[in-house]
Structure 1
């Protein structure tokens, strides 16, 4: 309601911290759960987390893979990519088919429950898309959506 009335995202507090006993994948999953408020639904929500075999964790990176997350629901599965943005903040992109080549690429940046709701309900014209859409190495060779 706050976003609908003011355009501002509700504050849910800081992201969970990475602790020595946590693995990087568990930490990324915990951040996504926190940002999408998945713990407040009163029922377990499973998230499958693994290293992504296509995207780097940081722009122009080579050594560390991004993290792929999927949340299965009864009618669909939502697939996310976790990377770091230009400000070195962990960010999540919803993965979907490229309009031009059909390959699964980052389509929409989703960093809050409100972002996800807007996307699923098509409630707003422009969440802004993902800045990583044009640079995704997942595009087919020669795809016109890549790099322009």
Structure 2
């Protein structure tokens, strides 16, 4: 693992270590509610901010949200794009994809290069700061990867990682 290079990665690693030492799952309050006056992109950004406990870091964290033209919002969806979110830092960016899982719960996947084709695909489902820390610490066995990895349309044509 590389050394955490920004405050979010450092907080994520601390959260993962704390969860591993205590054996207790991270406690996260219910997601923010979508109000009629909210724009959906702002709401998705607010949910990611909440799940990663970004307001507890004591510093402003910028998140950019936009429609994702590659992935559907719902599995097998045709008309509604997923949401791409990015958290920029001086030395890089954390990229996420927001979609709905099979239980119709908003879920976030960390986006990164496919091991086989190198294209940016959903790698790991991240539901809290400790999940991100586990990914950074390379304890992926505890997480299991993203269910959307094999179905991502972002893979290169013929990529063996893409399947059904």
User: Secondary structure of the residue that 2:130 maps to in structure 1?
Assistant: helix
Aligned to 1:120: 136
Taking structure 2 as the reference length, the TM-score comes to 0.85
| Larger RCO (CA under 8 A, 6+ residues apart) | 2
Runs of 5+ in structure 1 lacking a partner?
Answer: none
TM-score of the two chains, using structure 1 as the length reference: 0.94
Higher helix share: 2
Q: How many pairs does the alignment contain?
A: 147
**Match for 1:47 among 44, 55, 63?**
63
Deviation of 1:12 after TM superposition, in Å, equals 1.9
- Which residues in structure 2 correspond to 1:13-32 (within 5 Å)? 13-32=29-48
The one of 89, 103, 127 equivalent to 1:111 is 127
Which of 110, 113, 118 is the equivalent residue of 1:94?
110
Q: Which residue of 2 aligns with 1:81?
A: 97
CA displacement at 1:2 relative to structure 2: 5.1
Give unpaired runs (5+ residues) of structure 2. Answer: 1-16
Query: Which residue of structure 1 lines up, in the alignment, with residue 12 of structure 2?
Result: none
Q: Please give the root-mean-square deviation of Cα atoms over the aligned residues, in Å.
A: 1.3
Q: Which moved more, 1:41-50 or 1:2-11?
A: 2-11
- Distance in 1, Cα, partners of 2:104 & 2:157: 28
Listed one character per residue, the Cα deviations across residues 5-55 of structure 1 (whole Å, up to 9, x for unaligned) are 344322121000001110000000000000000011111100000000100
- Write the distance in 1 (CA, Å) between the matches of 2:102 and 2:29: 22
